[in-house]
Amino acid sequence: MNFFSLLISSAGLHSKRKETYVLATSAIILSGVLVQAATGVMGLSLSLSALTAGAVIEVIRLRARSRQNHLDRLWPRVFDSFQNATQSGLSLLEQLESLATVGPARLRKHFARLHGDLYRGNDIAESLGVFREGIGSRQADSLSLLIEVTTELGTAGVAESWRKAAANLRAEQAMFGEVIAKQGWVLGSAKVALAAPWLVAFLLVRLEQNRAAFETALGAMVLITGLLLSALAYVAVNKLGSLTLPGRIFNATC
């Protein structure tokens, strides 16, 4: 469940996680009910419900990847802004207020909320935790860590830390950007191919003799075995096709 929570946070759905859980569960149950009503084969219904669960995860994963790719391009500007503000002697609240009004549009509400929380005197660690989970990205984790260090130890040398963070982000994006794009096409094609046998099975079961065969114990065993093999193939595709990228600094969720 921690994996799913982190995925939802990365997709920008942390504030709507309960609704997301309900919609995902409803889609899984509804797919099973519809297939059962159409075919009357319990094994196929359960299998397609499991495939729907995988499809839901993939939809959220695609949203998370698209959102993170867009946010990644914004963070160097944010770190540059903190560097300039630190060199100019602006306070943390002044920096946050500036980003809430003239910063990247997709991040303004998060900086506005953080500014409001700190302005009201809320605990900085708690406020930064809300900020991190609201954005759900490694860069937000790094930013909040630097803010905490600045708060605890002062601003000496922090401007250089902001500069290095921005430079590292740009170098990382240049290194991984093209590889990640190509990897996405390959993995996407492999995952779509996993659904093909089940579409064939759904068409075959429309014939009475095939449906009768699938309703037997042997037929159910064939379907369950196919489901297990599909799950194994799904895990293998994700494992073998994954890149070792830097993970989030803070993995706990609220």
Residue 31 in domain: yes
Residue ending a domain, choose from 121, 148, 171: 171
Q: What is the pLDDT of residue 116?
A: 93
Q: At what angle do helices 42-87 and 17-39 cross, to 10 degrees?
A: 160
CA–CA dist 117, 3 (Å, integer): 28
Question: Based on the domain organization, do 121 and 59 belong to the same domain?
Answer: no
Residue among 141, 4, 12, 132 at smallest CA distance from 64: 12
Of the residues 171, 198, 215, the one at which a domain ends? 171
Domain limit, last residue, from 171, 196, 215: 171
pLDDT value of position 113: 93
**Residues 154 and 184 both lie in one domain:** no
Q: In the chain, what is the straight-line distance between the N-terminal and C-terminal CA atoms, in Å?
A: 13
**pLDDT at 111 (0 to 100):** 92
Q: Are residues 92 and 156 in the same domain?
A: yes
| pLDDT at residue number 139 | 83
Q: Which H, E and C letters describe the chain, residue by residue?
A: CHHHHHHHHHCCCHHHHHHHHHHHHHHHHHHHHHHHHHHCCHHHHHHHHHHHHHHHHHHHHHHHHHHHHHHHHHHHHHHHHHHHHHHCCCCHHHHHHHHHHHCCHHHHHHHHHHHHHHHCCCCHHHHHHHHHHHHCCHHHHHHHHHHHHHHHHCCCCHHHHHHHHHHHHHHHHHHHHHHHHHHHHHHHHHHHHHHHHHHHHHHHCCCHHHHHHHCCHHHHHHHHHHHHHHHHHHHHHHHHCCCCCCCCCCCCCC
- Determine the pLDDT at residue 224: 85
The per-residue pLDDT for 43 is 81
Residues 84 and 165 in one domain: yes
- State which residues form the domain around 150: 76-171
Question: Same structural domain for residues 65 and 183?
Answer: yes
21/147 same-domain check: no
pLDDT tens sequence for the chain (254 residues): 566 777 887 777 877 888 888 998 999 999 889 988 888 888 888 888 888 888 888 888 888 888 877 777 888 888 888 888 888 888 888 889 999 998 888 889 999 999 999 999 898 989 998 898 888 788 888 888 888 877 776 656 677 778 887 888 788 777 776 666 666 666 777 777 777 888 888 888 878 888 888 888 888 888 888 888 888 888 887 777 666 655 566 554 44
